[in-house]
Amino acid sequence: MKDFTSCYFTMNEEDAVEYAKTMLDIFDDDAELTCKEIGDGNLNYVFRVVDEKNGKSIIIKQAGPVARISDEFKVSPDRNRIESEILKLQGELAPGFVPKMYKYDPVMNCCVMEDLSDHQIMRTALMEHKKFPLFADHITTFMVNTLLLTSDVVMDHKEKKELVKKFINPELCEITEDLVYTEPFYDCPRNDLLDETRKFVQDEIWNDQQLALETAKLKFEFMTNAQSLLHGDLHTGSIFIKEDSTKVIDPEFAFYGPAGYDVGNVIANLIFAYANAKFTIDDEGRRKDYMTYLEETIKDVIDLFKTKFLAAWDEKATERVAKYPGFREYYLDSILKDTAAVTGLELCRRIIGIAHVKDITSIEDQSKRVRAEKLCLSAGKTFILERETMKHGVDYVKVIRTFAQQF
């Protein structure tokens, strides 16, 4: 029998079954448990444990001492505490939009949560060219609630600072500072890009001094602006979806940072799906239809976020000076600027840096993949440099259409 109570070890599928039997009070005594490790992220192990007798199932997610993507990233398994605490908090702020948390285990650095296997990872669903008409509404409610309601606009300032302390997340922030804000913008040995894309990156990204300066400003904004409690990694691989339901998972990068970081990640990852659609759907009618659907979704995410943010501000703001005329527009404006910038950073880093996205890497025809990469890089650079002008959903659509025509 394994000892799960005194010393951490990384579990395998057999261990996860034993863990479910001996450490959890979820399954019947005569349950016939099976387990499969289903994690395909860069960091953790995800075990799906099922009682074959009745189909009841749970997820056990365990943090290992190093990232799965590379041993170079030594990340404290304490990220699992952050993840389980923030999921509880997000569940209160945005009910129905995160999985239920059953248990957090600080010895095994794992948490046990609701199995969402009736949903699909959104990145995969978008690559299958499925549509989710409720997504923009759902994700903007989630973002407005989690971002505005954890800010100084709404929270008592001392309580907010307690949350800043509780969710200080130096190691995972360092990953973002390196992989998103720094390495993609110079010829860093850890970058991982196609030879065919390298010359374009050299000319358009690495040789652009203005772009380098802007990324420096943005990096310091990320490190110093404790505005809202972020999800911190809100890409389409962190979202489970089905027609009538959207669930946000994997908030282990959570910390207090600029609110636009989450919104920009959502937009950039919809743009990866857009590039995928452009270069993988052969039938012209279907391709146009799906790209239009994604354009509408991008537009709606920006515009609904703005409308809901201002309405929630009027209803929930407690800070006296936040109610002065013009301040809420000034504040939202700065979030929109950050949103555009982060959209651009994410678009560039997933092409140039070490952590890629399947929307692009799965494009089998190499010349089409290179065109998709150039589309993302060009749009990304534009969003960073022209972030002051990106005020409405339609501004995003104009940029991606321009580069979809060019490449």
Q: Which residues lie near ligand SR1 (CB under 6 A)? A: 41-43, 67, 69, 73, 175-176, 179, 233, 355
Binding region for Mg ion (CB under 5 A) out of 50-58, 218-226, 245-253, 302-310: 245-253
User: How open is the CA angle 130-338-293, to the nearest 5 degrees?
Assistant: 20
Q: Is 64 in the site for Mg ion (CB under 5 A)?
A: no
Q: Which residue has the tokens 């929270």?
A: 155
φ/ψ of residue 112, rounded to 5: -115, 125
Q: Is 380 in the site for Mg ion (CB under 5 A)?
A: no
Question: Which of 178, 250 has the CB closer to Mg ion?
Answer: 250
- For Mg ion, the nearest residue by Cβ is 250
Cα 323 from Cα 327, distance rounded (Å): 7
Question: Which of 124, 334 has the CB closer to ligand SR1?
Answer: 124
Least distance to Mg ion from the beta carbon of 250, Å? 4
Q: Which of the listed partners (Mg ion, ligand SR1, none) does 355 bind, with a CB threshold of 5 to 8 Å by partner kind?
A: ligand SR1
Q: Is 359 in the site for Mg ion (CB under 5 A)?
A: no
C-alpha distances (whole Å) from 112 to each of 4, 6, 77, 258, 300 are 14, 18, 15, 29, 34
Q: What is the DSSP letter of 183?
A: G
Q: Is 41 in the site for Mg ion (CB under 5 A)?
A: yes
Say if residues 205 and 62 touch (Cβ distance below 8 Å): no
Cα dihedral angle (240, 241, 245, 251), rounded to 10 degrees?
A: 30
Cα 262 from Cα 236, distance rounded (Å): 11
DSSP secondary structure string for all residues of 363-381: --SHHHHHHHHHHHHHHHH
Binding region for Mg ion (CB under 5 A) out of 39-47, 180-188, 291-299, 326-334: 39-47
Q: Which of the listed partners (ligand SR1, Mg ion, none) does 197 bind, with a CB threshold of 5 to 8 Å by partner kind?
A: none
Least distance to Mg ion from the beta carbon of 41, Å? 4
Q: Is 353 in the site for Mg ion (CB under 5 A)?
A: no
Question: Which of 97, 181 has the CB closer to ligand SR1?
Answer: 181
Q: Is 83 in the site for Mg ion (CB under 5 A)?
A: no
Cα 222 from Cα 234, distance rounded (Å): 15
Q: Which residue has the tokens 């400003």?
A: 217
Least distance to Mg ion from the beta carbon of 75, Å? 12
Q: Quick one: tokens of 170?
A: 């130096």
Q: Which of the listed partners (ligand SR1, Mg ion, none) does 76 bind, with a CB threshold of 5 to 8 Å by partner kind?
A: none
Q: Which of the listed partners (Mg ion, ligand SR1, none) does 94 bind, with a CB threshold of 5 to 8 Å by partner kind?
A: none
Cα dihedral angle (370, 375, 377, 382), rounded to 10 degrees?
A: 160
Question: Which of 24, 66 has the CB closer to ligand SR1?
Answer: 66
Cα 149 from Cα 128, distance rounded (Å): 35
Q: Is 251 in the site for Mg ion (CB under 5 A)?
A: no
Single residue of 250, 346, 359, 373 touching Mg ion by CB under 5 A: 250
Question: Which of 41, 393 has the CB closer to ligand SR1?
Answer: 41
Q: What is the DSSP letter of 289?
A: H
Largest CA distance in the chain: 66
Question: Which of 4, 142 has the CB closer to ligand SR1?
Answer: 142
* Site of interaction with Mg ion (CB under 5 A): 41, 250
